[in-house]
Amino acid sequence: MSEEVTTNPGARKIIAAQSTDHSTKRWIRKIRKRLGFQVCLVLLGILVIAALFALLIAPYDPNAIDLKQKNEDPSSAHIWGTDYLGRDLFSRTLFGAQTSLLIAFVTVACAFAAGTAVGCVAAYYGGVVDEVLSRCVDLFLAFPGIIFSLALLGLIGAGILNMILALTVSQWATFARFMRGNALSIKNLEYIQSARTAGLPDRRIMMRHLMPNAIMPVLILATLDIGSVILATAGLSFLGLGIPPGIPEWGSMIGAGKEFLRTAPLNVIVPGLAITVVVLLFNFLGEGLRDILDVHDEQVIPG
Amino acid sequence: MTLLEVQDLNVHFPTGEGTVHASRNISFRLQPGEVLGLVGETGSGKSVIGQAIIRLLPSSAQVSGHIYFSGQDLTGLSESSIHALRGCSISLIPQNPSGALNPVMMNGQQIAEIFETQGTQRKTAVETSWELLAAVGLVPAERIAREYPHQLSGGMRQRLTTSIAIARGSTKLIIADEPTKGLDYHARETTARLLREISTEKHAALLLITHDLYLAEHICDRIAVLYAGEIVEIGYAEQIFSKPIHPYTQALMKAIPKNGLVPLAGQSPSLMALPEGCAFMDRCERQTEKCHQEHPLMTQENIDGGVRCHHPYCA
């Protein structure tokens, strides 16, 4: 569609009309082709809505103890049965979803924001700035994430906010390193150079030119990371470090229920399945997004 | 008053295998409103000169010499002072318009952001960007402003990068790096006309870096011919095209299709292993013993013209 060929003005109009919102339409078309991705989106949608409105949906108070009905099998009154203290497992799982998703979303958002900012600044300025920031990232990556969080939680104590803090600290460096790599590959492209040539300030170049072009793969990493943060949350709570008692959480449900594994396996199976299904759904979402956003198939995404 | 004076500019790139002498002993002057063409083959060090002026060379480059812009020596300036000149007093039209545009930013926004960073209201900035698009012939401007660079043709992208470069309107020197690269005949002609218009209208000097002799002939006042990193001949465009003095310029003219399309045999020397004498001697029909021993110097007969040859064709 070159202006040389188009002699009548109408022809250009048609071409322009066809190509408007070209990319949005292409995405929709790509999503339509993937049934699995659609199912995944719908299920996650239901999950998020259910977690948000847990207070309205849950048939029982998740902490209401009823020792007369402990370790009951599923029935019309308790569709997923009750736990060792007679609490409704469905209600507890639902509220557990709230806790897990809240922690996962906030943690990933914080780690994503901090990581991309650090990675972007390191890549853009290079030199000493890059050296200092990158060594900092290396330092954080040198510890296994879960041990880092464990140590930190041991130090600052349990709680949802502390949990988010501990997980963010163990996650952000992955984002920073990945963002730095992406930004470095783009930094020397001509349009960043021309933005400099046009005399734009550094901050503007980073925010409007470097970030938007480097962020897509990091966004996909973030989606995949939601699953691992849910797992980490459950793991830490299982060890009794993360969430204080009183707040339903899948990991602590398993931790407390493991003693009844033989007599009342539902105590473990229900939250266990919840973790598995949700983590799988987020992983499918991340992989589906990767295909749809057309980041090269051969590209290896760490995490 | 001279707008730009380049004195004895040398650019070297140290590499693992040796030093690449990209530009050597480059000296020229540019008056306000003048169009000077830097003409040469690929690898003759043309683009390096443009990038050295605006200081966009990679940090590995070793630069010596002086660059005076409006009487101020740019080589001594700090990075922030030179950054203040970029896009403001000195504009660069980038070599590859397709690569020089942000693929995820709308065309209009790429112009408008220049004003936004100067504190202009968003609405005014957008409207100014439409005017600028229309000024370079990108119409209907409002629609094109909402499209993305990949929806434009090569010629249109060229015009967009041009309008970005001149957006601030305060530019005194435009450096156009191969503006017609990869464009077809028609687009080349429109680009040539556009560049000439801009330089006349804004009374801005234009440093045109190109291997497109057609373009150079049509819009340049003066032309400097580069060979292996050196200026071998500099003079008025008509003189260069009608009566070239340097054997290389002669050969270049003979290679133009309308002059017979006679290619020049051989290759230019490697910029890592330049001969002691004249760089062109191996391909020159007039070479003598002197050419092998002595590096020819630029004649300084007058300030606007000169040749670097022991045996130039008589003017």
B189 at the A interface (CB within 8 A)?
Answer: no
* Locus of tokens 């300084």: B300
In angstroms, rounded to a whole number, what is the distance separating the alpha carbons of residues A188 and B205?
28
* φ/ψ of residue A118, rounded to 5: -65, -45
From A98, A92, A102, select the one nearest A58 (Cα to Cα): A92
According to DSSP, residue B244 is labeled -
Question: Taking CB atoms and an 8 Å cutoff, what residues of chain B touch A4?
Answer: 153, 155, 184, 186-187
The pLDDT confidence band at residue A47, using thresholds 50, 70 and 90, is: very high
With a cut of 60, say whether residue A298 has pLDDT above it: no
The residues, ordered by sequence, that sit 6+ positions from A21 with a Cβ below 8 Å of its Cβ are none
Q: Do B104 and A213 touch (CB under 8 A)?
A: yes
H helix or E strand, kind and range, residue B174:
strand B173-177
Query: Is B118 an 8 Å CB contact of chain A?
Result: no
Write out the two tokens for A191.
Answer: 């349009």
Query: How many angstroms away from the CA of B154 is the closest CA of chain A?
Result: 7
In the prediction, which pLDDT does A62 show?
A: 85
Question: In the prediction, which pLDDT does A180 show?
Answer: 95
Rounded Cα distance between A21 and A260, Å, is 57
Give the Cβ contact number of residue B16 at 10 Å. Answer: 4
The stretch A107-131 carries a mean pLDDT of 94
Average pLDDT, chain B: 88
Least CB-CB distance to B153: which of A1, A16, A189?
A: A1
Low-confidence stretches of chain B (pLDDT < 50) are: none
Residue A190 is nearest to which of B99, B153, B165, comparing CB atoms? B99
CA B227, B229, B231 angle in degrees (round to 5)? 60
pLDDT of amino acid B23 = 92
pLDDT at residue A23, rounded to an integer:
62
Q: Is B99 on the interface with A (CB under 8 A)?
A: yes
pLDDT at A299: 41
Task: Name the β-bridge partners of B72.
Answer: B69
A191–B99 CB contact, under 8 Å? yes
Neighbours of A197 (CB within 10 A): 25
CB contact under 8 Å between A1 and B186, yes or no, is: no
DSSP line for chain A: --TTT--SHHHHHHHHHHHTTHHHHHHHHHHHH-HHHHHHHHHHHHHHHHHHTHHHH-SS-TT---GGGTTPPP-SSSTT-B-TT--BHHHHHHHHHHHHHHHHHHHHHHHHHHHHHHHHHHHHH-HHHHHHHHHHHHHHHHS-HHHHHHHHHHHH--SHHHHHHHHHHHHHHHHHHHHHHHHHHHHTSHHHHHHHHTT--HHHIIIIIIHHHH-HHHHHHHHHHHHHHHHHHHHHHHTT-SS-TTS--HHHHHHHHGGGTTT-THHHHHHHHHHHHHHHHHHHHHHHHHHHTT--TT-----
B165 or A121, higher pLDDT: A121
ipTM above 0.85, yes or no: no
Cα angle: B97, vertex B102, B107; to 5 degrees: 80
